[in-house]
Structures are given as C-alpha cells and as structure tokens.
Structure 1
Amino acid sequence: MIRIREDVRFAREGDGGVLLDLAKNRFFDLNATGADIWQHVLAGASVDQIVAVLSQETMTSPAVIEKAVGEFLQTLDSLGLVIVGKTEPTSERSCHA
C-alpha cells in the first residue's frame, strides 16, 4: 500500500510534474515517468498494478519496471512524501487530487 502524506501536492507540468511538500516548503521536479507513476499512486494503484501498466505501455520487462518503481517510491518515502507498505496512521490519507 502506498499512502501520500496529506501535506503533499502534485501539479502536472509539461511532460513531467512537480511535487510540493507544504510541510517543509520544498518542491521536487518529476520527469515524465515519475509523473506517470505518481498519477497511478493518486488513483490508488498498487505497486503491482503500476508495474503491469507501465510494463505494457513501454514494452519493458516487468522486472525492470518493478525495480525502477520500487526505487522511485523508496526515494519518495525517504523524503517523507509517501508512506510505502506501513500501517496507516490516522493523520495520513490514501491519495490527493
């Protein structure tokens, strides 16, 4: 399960996007792939669902996609933007629009 912190916002920008961390007054640029992954997270997709869709769309091995998606989400988790695979505290929401 992937949960987005309630103080994180996303804006599409060109082919990519920007994540805004309102709590720490930071922003992060996303390339097109990162923005696509984020959109799937917003829609409530699981890691397996994201991997399946991106693998099919890019005609890339699921193992390669799974590694890239996992690394991306772990980076977001380490930055405090999402919570990956942990129990949900009451102050977190499952997604933002």
Structure 2
Amino acid sequence: MSIGSNHIHTVTDQDGAAILDIEHGTVTTLNSTGAFVWQRLERGEGLQIIAASLSRDTGEDVLTVERDVREFVESLKQNNLLSRPMRRA
C-alpha cells in the first residue's frame, strides 16, 4: 500500500482528516470514522482487524462494519490514495 508515499500528506485530528495528494492535485477529507480507518491502514492493520475494532467501539454488527470498511478502502483506491490490495486479517 502506498500510504505515506512522498506525494501523500495527511493531517488528522479528532474531527477527521484531510489527505493531500500532490501528484494528482487533490484534497480528500474524511470524517472521524474515515480518519480512524486511515490511521489503522497507515499502521498496516488488516481490514478484519480494523472492522472488529470499529465494531467493538460502535456496537455495530462486525459483518456490516467489515463491508463498509471494504467499500471505503475501494473508494480510497479509486481516488488513487491506495494502490495495493489490503491484507484480510
């Protein structure tokens, strides 16, 4: 995954995140949940681990959360913010 590459810069706070992609000239904003997932991806955590953690924190069904996380990751890929497939666990 290319998070943290030279052309991606991120600012994160309690309200969310802003991701500047210098190569493509875009800024992507994330809400607090998106920022949570982004930070976990930066750490190299797998999608199932991220979903399980979010499920515990929110009380939502883990399968629903995992589906939503996968959709979010696909959106990041479509916006050229991720390039490699994510680990499952």
| Aligned partner of 2:2 among 1, 4, 20 | 4
Size of the alignment, in residue pairs? Answer: 84
Task: Establish whether residue 25 from structure 1 lines up as the match of residue 38 from structure 2.
Answer: no
Match of 1:73 in 2: 73
Aligned 1:1-97 pairs, distance under 5 A:
3-5=1-3, 6=5, 7-85=7-85
Question: Conserved in 2, the CA contact under 8 Å of 1:10 and 1:18?
Answer: yes
Structure 1 runs not aligned, ≥5 long = 87-97
Q: Which has the higher contact order (CA 8 A, sep 6+)?
A: 1
CA distance in 2, matches of 1:55, 1:84: 25
Misfit runs of 4+, over 3 Å? none
The Cα shift of 1:13 comes to: 4.0
Which letter maps to 1:78? Q
2:83 alignment partner, SS class: strand
Q: Deviations over 1:16-69 (max 9, x none)?
A: 110110101110110011001001011110101101111111111011101110
TM-score normalised per structure 1? 0.79
Q: Which has the higher strand share?
A: 1
TM-score normalised per structure 2? 0.86
Which letter maps to 1:79? N
Question: Conserved in 2, the CA contact under 8 Å of 1:73 and 1:84?
Answer: no
The Cα shift of 1:84 comes to: 4.1
The percent identity for this pair of structures is 27
